[in-house]
Amino acid sequence: MKRRTFLGAAATAALIATGATAQDEPLKVGFIYVGPVGDGGWTYEHDQARQAVEAEYGDRVETVFQESVPEGADAERVMTQMALSGADLIFATSFGFMDPVMNVAERFPDVKFEHATGYKTAENVSNYSARFYEGRAIQGYIAGEMTETNQIGYIASFPIPEVVRGINAAYLAASEVNPDVQFNVVWLSTWFDPAREADAAQALIEQGADVILQHTDSTAPQAAAEAAGNVITFGQASDMAEYAPSPRVSSIIDNWAPYYIDRVGAVLDGTWESQSVWQGIDKGMVEIGEITDAVPEDVRAEAQRRMDAIANGEMHPFAGPINRQDGSAWLAEGETADDATLLGMDFYVEGLTGDIPN
Amino acid sequence: MVAATPILLAALGELVVERAGVLNLGVEGMMIVGAICGFAAAVETGSPVLGFAAAALGGAALSLVFGVLTQFLLSNQVATGLALTLFGLGLSALLGQGYVGVKPPATARLDLGPLGDLPFVGRVIFGHDWVVYLSLALTVAIWWFLTRSRAGLRLRAVGESHDAAHALGLRVRATRMAAIAFGGAMAGLGGAYLSLVRVPQWTEGMTAGAGWIALAIVVFASWRAGGVLIGAYLFGGVTILQLNLQAAGAAIPVEYLSMSPYLITIAVLVLISARGNRRTLGAPADLGRQFHATR
């Protein structure tokens, strides 16, 4: 009984403290991660951004994090605990944390929440995601220029719009500079299974692919490409620079640091508002890792030009004319895809072979 | 062959354990501990051979925890085995914290001279690393041990009827502890093959269910070394084949291709075991039963 009273009092005290955060106390920012910080990919990049927040604001913020939180009831418990212990802002960094975030946010109206890659918002809940397809268009361009067999292998995870969009963006860019290019897509139904990723890369290489693109998170395909010799790959989510200069010739990096610094700053000066953002190369949320010397100078220069053009809006990875795989018209000449279509993309563009699993 | 070898190694170890009358469901846990022990040792010493040795030791050490609990403290084998898997997964994550993103030294392909230069056959049969050939040699050795040797006969006697074996003066507990340690060492080798050759890198949870497949293959192979070999190669072969079919653009829906390794392995092994129906399915009679000399 005594303990319960004590816990209740502690919780109340924590709540009061939360509501009345004064400027002299550091802002407490919580992060929950779906994987271990050492995964070298998704969670690793979120944790780098957390450290960037600490470096930016110094004593004005205090960060806490919890790694390997399963998506579901545990996530709700972890966030409740964070809120009770005085967190003012909580970043939930996986799609599956969406409903737990909404539930906890309802109970702690004074705490602000940021949810990655979701689509729900509330008074105190924002969501944010990155336009990875812009980065994939750059990798696709490099892939199209670099392939000698005109066979490009693509290791895909789940048939969701995010992944389909990446395949389409990469294919459009590759076939624009190399009309003979062919994409072989292998679906693995996993984000992370190094053994199967390695086997898939091996199978693609045996079928003649000399460029491997991947939408799964491990470096196993890089290892397979290195063993095979003249095959190139790209880093995914993280730089994977340990395989540079070849087989890894460039990479897509999720850079959350500018956004996290911006949002923490907004809470600090009291301007935080709920929003829903989808940022790309222009805001630095999608970064292209160093394009190595293995890529010819002119291709590197053109890739850089395309990056700049996408950043300042002169170029769009999905600009008409583009047909769907079945030949029906999608975008007319001069038309670019709107966000709603992109977010729900469930079809291949013309020229891609095979079916999307359903 | 690369996809089959980890499963083959782990399943062979489990075969010996089960023939001795012990059901150890902790294969997955022992594999992943072997994967990290082997990886760490190989990275620190720069020698894959020492890595595999450390993996076998690590797997055996973990399996002895199971052995002490089930053979001396008489805990329930099923529950202890499951606990061993969970423990192994956690322990490996802890041990592996400093090894994420590190590249291991390459395991050498066996240089068989002119044999390796033969077209096609050279690459398919003679183009592998030494662990593949070791696993094949171990299959033969275990078959010979179980069916032709005196010690193997004793081990099977312990598995078929530990009371009778005890009455004959065979040392039931010692035999079973040895079998458990051997099974752990084999699972450890299988795990190290994943982290050192097949992937090769260390990541948490990288065995991804291979230990459970090994367990299933022992059952479907009706506790015979030859059946284990067929099962593991069939499963590994079809796994690779379905990826190749996908990459080649076969007009079969991806979902069917993904489940094909499991379906085909089950179907073929059921056919194999059906032939042995007259002699029962081949499970050791005292499999999973506890032994205590005073009972």
**Average pLDDT in the A210-230 region?**
88
pLDDT at residue A229 tops 80:
yes
Amino acid letter at B50?
L
Chain B: give the shortest CA distance to residue A60, in Å: 30
Across chain A, mean pLDDT equals 87
User: Structure tokens of A25?
Assistant: 């106390």
Crossing angle between the packed helical segments B48-67 and B27-45, to the nearest 10 degrees = 150
Alpha carbons B204 and B188: distance in angstroms, whole number: 15
Residues 6+ apart with CB under 8 A from B159: B18, B19, B20, B21, B22, B284, B285, B286, B287
The pLDDT value given to residue B50: 94
What's the token pair of residue A120? Answer: 């729900």
Specify the pLDDT at position A1. Answer: 42
Query: Which residue stretches of chain B have pLDDT < 70?
Result: 110-124, 275-281, 295
Question: HSE-up of B28 (CA within 13 Å, CB side)?
Answer: 23
Which residue from B131, B105, B103 is spatially nearest to B46, judged by alpha carbons? B105
pLDDT of A19 reads: 47
Residue that the structure tokens 């951004």 belong to = A49
Q: Which of A4-8, A145-149, B121-125 has the highest mean pLDDT?
A: A145-149
Compute the nearest-CA separation of B36 from chain A (Å). Answer: 14
- The values of phi and psi at residue A228, to 5°, are -80, -20
Which residue of B5, B199, B252 to mutate against A (max A Cβ within 10 Å)?
B199
End-to-end CA gap in chain A: 54
What tokens appear for A200 in the block?
A: 């898939």
CB of A36 less than 8 A from some CB of B: yes
Which of B93, B198, B255 has the CB atom closest to A357's CB atom?
A: B255
Judged by CB atoms closer than 8 Å, whether chains meet at B3 and A194 is answered as no
What's residue B112's pLDDT? 64
What residues of chain A lie within 8 A of the CB of B239, using their CB?
199
Task: State residue B191's pLDDT score.
Answer: 95
Question: What are the phi and psi torsion angles at A270 (to 5°)?
Answer: 80, 15
Q: How far apart are the first and last CA of chain B?
A: 46
Query: Tens digit of pLDDT for each residue in A187-200?
Result: 988 777 788 889 99
The answer to whether A50 and A260 are in contact (CB under 8 A) is yes
State mean pLDDT over A13-37: 69
Query: What per-residue confidence (pLDDT) applies to B17?
Result: 95
User: Quick one: how many helices (H) and strands (E) in chain A?
Assistant: 11, 14
Assign 3-state DSSP to chain A and report helix, strand, coil percentages, each to 5. 40, 20, 35
A354 touches B at CB < 8 Å? yes
Q: Is B93 left (phi over 0), alpha (psi -120 to 50) or beta?
A: alpha
Place of tokens 């594999």: B31
**CB B199 to CB A218 under 8 A?**
yes
Can you tell me the mean pLDDT for A126-135? 92
Name the more confident of A137 and B242.
A137
What is the dihedral angle through the alpha carbons of A25, A30, A36, A42, rounded to the nearest 10 degrees?
A: -120
Mutation target vs A (from B89, B198, B206; most A CBs, 10 A cutoff): B198
What tens digit of pLDDT does each residue of A296-350 get? Answer: 999 999 999 999 999 998 999 999 899 999 999 999 888 898 888 888 888 999 9
Which residues in chain B are contacts of A223 at CB distance < 8 A?
103, 199-201
d(CA A260, CA A73) in angstroms, rounded, equals 25
What's the one-letter identity of residue A173?
A: A
Rounded mean pLDDT, A102-107: 94
Cα A14 → chain centroid: 34
Identify which of A18-22, A72-76, B252-256 has the greatest average pLDDT.
A72-76
Vertex A46: Cα angle to A40 and A47 (nearest 5): 80
